[in-house]
Copies of this chain bind each other. A is one copy, B any other.
Amino acid sequence: MKEKGNILIIGAGLCGSLLALRMAQRGYTIKLVEKRPDLRKIEQDAGRSINLALSDRGLKALRLAGVEDQAKELCIPMTGRMIHDKEGNTFLSPYSGREDEYINSISRPGLNMLLLDEAEKMPNVEIIFNKGCENVDLEKGSATFYDYETKERVTYSGDIVLGTDGAGSAVRKSLFEHKKFLFSFSQQWLTHGYKEITIPATEDGGYRTHKGALHIWPRGEDMLIALPNLDGSFTVTLFLPYANSDYGFDNLTTAEKVLEYFNKEYPDAVALMPNLVEEFFENPTGPLGTIKCSPWSSYGKTLVMGDAAHAIVPFYGQGMNASFEDVVVFDEVLDQHEGDWDTVFKAYENVRKKDTDAIADLAVDNFHEMKEHTASPLFQQKRKLEIAFETEFPTEYSSKYSLVTFNEDLSYHQAMTQGRAQDKAILNLLADGKLPDSMTLREKLEIVQKETQDILHDDEVAHNLS
């Protein structure tokens, strides 16, 4: 393997460890530095997001690095949303009308460990833990770290520095605080926070509710979701306003009030969560934010990727998938421009940023869709029609959800544009009674496709004056 140069990667989470593996496969010498201890050697924190949705874009990236099959062993397929109403009734809303389209629940630390193991097997990867990045010298391509064990500072450098240090990125902070160029930046917080609770496995290790779905208890402003784990448990996440609500994190301060709220809104879930009150007060309340910035790189020396460049809210199940897809896109750009880092970085941002902006916006939209719309009759009619289209005409129709989640060769931006137009077309046709039962499914598909094209055309004319 030819020596190509040194890359300093800051942050050994999901994106950083996959990136290290892939760049090592391309022949670079990698120094991968992580603030936290080696998660393979410590007990996991409770109350941090411990499972995630892995879908086709993420799988494509894992395939590129040759670790897809191993990752799949950690996966639990979820074929749809299991909606729970207030009376405890449930119904399954499939993610797609095509059988091979489903998402997967996967353990975040499990997948991270797999990627660290695979990266570490490469002779040209060195992984260093317990060293937190304090700042990056953007013009030199070096970074200073604080060693939590020795309490000393150390500086590492590389031909380039790749910052994959997550939503709170120290590398991005160095870009923000650097005053020699204009840095566009945005952090947007939802008025809701989140908290995790456990549905434990049954005594014999079984699942207390349906295993193969993402469970949702939509309640307008609030929402509970649950994803299955391999050990029979589910990780439940409560999304609730911080304040200005009958029940918010600011006033759920006693066991009584917590139980009152859960019994009122989620009685069937309460029965599955024996440690509800204890976990509610033990586990932290996390914020939900979207981060966008530009430029992602400076001086052809430093580039941010993954959540460090584009943190998104979790409601499309695409955070990890988007970060993994970054590695695929970066790899493709390298194929074209390898040898000229400044060109690589700019070409990468040029092709990639509109897509990470799109998934960020779609994820916020989906917050509203999940907590409010999944319970709306018009929305349910739309989903029913889309599933019928996907089942009967699998090669002719894909819903917005399918375009985003299962069409890894379509960009997020294209998926958003097409998907939003389809949604608008179907919702309006349904609301205006233009899809009567007397029509065949084929006729309905044709009118939806025509209306979608009209919407895209009208937007195009208004936008480009052409």
Contacts and interface: CB of A to CB of B under 8 A. Distances in A.
Given A424-B462, A427-B461, A186 B189 contact: no
On chain A, which size bracket covers the interface? 20 to 34
A287 B423 CA distance: 39
Contact of A462 (B187, B188, B289, B427): B427
B424 A458 contact: yes
Given A424-B458, A428-B458, A458-B428, A376 B185 contact: no
A48 to B, nearest CB: 18
A373 interface: yes
Nearest to A382: B465
A465 B378 contact: yes
A379 interface: yes
Contacts of A423: 462
B462 A182 contact: no
Contacts of A188: 184, 186
A440 interface: no
Interface string A181-197: 01111111100000000
Nearest to A459: B424
A465 B379 contact: yes
A458 B466 CA distance: 22
A208 B186 CA distance: 44
Given A424-B458, A428-B458, A458-B424, A373 B185 contact: no
A187 B186 contact: yes
A432 to B, nearest CB: 8
A159 to B, nearest CB: 24
**Closest 6 A/B residue pairs (Cβ):** A186-B186, A424-B462, A182-B189, A184-B188, A378-B465, A431-B461
